[in-house]
């Protein structure tokens, strides 16, 4: 299954629609194309925190999609079209998923929250950082960059 971010909201009735989060006037619309079933669209509302960010990761071997839109995070099952996990108003700036370990890493401007089986297991809050950006995965390890306020001045 492949996904496609739509530039405009689809015409009502063109595809099955699922709304994730609180419905509002400017959601992110994603069309999910499946070989085995009909196409469907998902509407994802952003958080209420004024962040402007977007990231989508398809995790094919477990049929999940992670969506980050303006600070709100969603994890959905793209086959059943169900919401698995959702955090709204979390000030999230980036995320990564390690499906083999069932871990979700959510970055904020003050650190990282780690979730396992949809429950927070750890929060890392280093002193004097302006954010975290995940750059890659290697051998089931997550690699990223920390923005340090001391290095900027």
110: left (phi over 0), alpha (psi -120 to 50) or beta: alpha
* This prediction's pTM: 0.85
CB half-sphere exposure, 58, CA atoms < 13 A: 14
**Domains, the chain, ranges and CATH?**
46-152 (2.40.10.480)
pLDDT value of position 43: 92
At 8-60, the pLDDT tens digits run 888 888 888 899 987 777 889 999 986 666 789 999 988 766 677 889 999 87
Which alpha helices (DSSP H) does the chain contain, by range? 149-152
Pairing of strands 119-124, 112-116: antiparallel
Arithmetic mean of pLDDT over the chain: 85
The encoded tokens of residue 129 equal: 């950082």
At 132-147, the pLDDT tens digits run 889 998 888 888 887 7
pLDDT value of position 78: 87
CA distance 65 to 49: 23
């Amino acid at each position: 299954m492949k996904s496609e971010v739509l530039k405009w909201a689809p015409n009502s009735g063109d595809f099955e629609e699922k709304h994730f989060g609180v419905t509002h006037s400017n959601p992110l619309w994603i069309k999910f194309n499946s070989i085995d079933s009909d196409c469907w669209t998902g509407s994802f509302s952003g958080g209420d925190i004024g962040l402007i960010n977007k990231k989508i990761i398809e995790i094919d071997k477990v049929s999940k999609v992670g969506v980050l839109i303006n600070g709100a995070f969603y994890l959905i099952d793209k086959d059943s079209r169900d919401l698995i996990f959702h955090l709204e108003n979390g000030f999230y700036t980036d995320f990564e998923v390690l499906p083999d370990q069932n871990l979700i890493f959510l970055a904020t401007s003050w650190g990282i929250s780690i979730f396992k089986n949809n429950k927070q297991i750890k929060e890392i809050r280093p002193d004097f950082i302006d954010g975290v950006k995940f750059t890659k995965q290697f051998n089931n390890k997550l690699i990223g960059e920390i923005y340090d306020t001391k290095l900027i001045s």
